Structure 1
């Protein structure tokens, strides 16, 4: 009977007691496996805490731009060199196209001279005719006789007075009148075939105060840059 009673006590322990003991042991074992040394943060009691107080910040503006450069004195401007364009210019667009040079030649037409007083530039009908240098117009007409439509301009070049004569220009092409001033390279008319002419070209004559004609091509070639 005593044996039977002991068995009864042994077998009557609640199942939950066994389960709890096993669970606690397992949990303790797992906890010991995954929990290491704890980390800690120590803050001193007197540590200052940074705070931002509204209205205490300062906004700095961008630095001012540098002052403008000082104005140039009028005297300096007056002393500065001024570029006024070329002193001397070719009278046509293609000065190398010459149909008749200056000097002795075979007369190209009845009544044409055998001693050519000018240079004939064959740059094309209707192409511009330009003043060879700055000057004043002393003659401008559509009725220049054998010259046809012609213009004469007086210049001061290299300290000397020279005159250029442009002949055989087309009717209605003259852009200047007597008394007008022109600059070097300024258009004064257009190539044509008026007066005593065998075809469209510019007849250019040049002479000094003595009226003696000289080779305008050589004179220009020595001065045009």
Structure 2
């Protein structure tokens, strides 16, 4: 009995020591030296997740768990702004009149604004609304308006405010600058623009009522290198264009 008790004590101590070793020593230390490959371990770990950085603007790719996510950031493109365009071109003052006349040929022929006739409304001079700088020639909508002489277009407008759609032409008459002004054309009816040459009697647009107008007509003016408007009727009568 004495020896049997000692044997049981030894076995118990051996069991306790074995349990302690099993729970305190890392599993890797119990593996044989030949069963662990550091290079293989690194390759497998790297295959699980990777990241690569590419050139700026091209984005990046991330491989994760069997799928690849591509990211891309495009370079912003500025939105072009429309250019500012004025509907009015050229000018109709004295300086523009003289410059246009210098570029024009001598006028050898003349034409009425309305060769087939018109009805005179407001003449040149004072009126209730203020001084009238031209004459109003009434006619039907869409009736062609004609240039009174050869010349060069020095001003044109697509809306023109109170004058509506208008046109101004510089002429050289006996070496003197004479400029004619036509107002209230129909929208989009002008047939010539700034810098164009015109001939006497050429159709330059259609009668309308654009701008400050209550009915279809052509407001017609004449002026010279000083820019001052004068009664156009004596000039038209003198040249057979009244």
Are the structure 2 counterparts of residues 168 and 88 from structure 1 closer, same or farther at C-alpha, using a change threshold of 3 Å?
Answer: same
Normalised TM-score (structure 1): 0.57
- Gap regions ≥5 residues in structure 1: 1-84, 108-113
List structure 1 runs of 4+ shifted beyond 6 angstroms: none
1:152 aligns with 2:174: no
Q: Deviation string for 1:107-143 (max 9, x for gaps)?
A: 3xxxxxx210001001221101010110000111112
* Aligned position for 1:90: 112
Q: Deviation string for 1:130-184 (max 9, x for gaps)?
A: 1011000011111211100001100001221011111001001100011100000
Contact 1:89 1:131 in 2 (8 A): yes
RMSD between superposed Cα atoms in Å = 1.9
* Aligned position for 1:202: 218
Q: 1:106 Cα deviation (Å)?
A: 2.5
Contact 1:93 1:123 in 2 (8 A): no
Higher gyration radius (CA):
1
Instruction: Give the Cα separation in 2 of the matches to 1:159 and 1:124.
Output: 35
- Structure with greater strand share of residues: 2
1:180 aligns with 2:196: yes
2:127 to 105, 112, 127: 105
Instruction: Give the Cα separation in 2 of the matches to 1:119 and 1:135.
Output: 21
- Structure with greater helix share of residues: 2
Instruction: Give the Cα separation in 2 of the matches to 1:106 and 1:92.
Output: 27
Q: 1:222 Cα deviation (Å)?
A: 1.1
- Gap regions ≥5 residues in structure 2: 1-106
- Paired residues, number: 136
* Aligned position for 2:179: 163
SS in 1 for 2:184: strand
1:222 aligns with 2:238: yes
Normalised TM-score (structure 2): 0.53
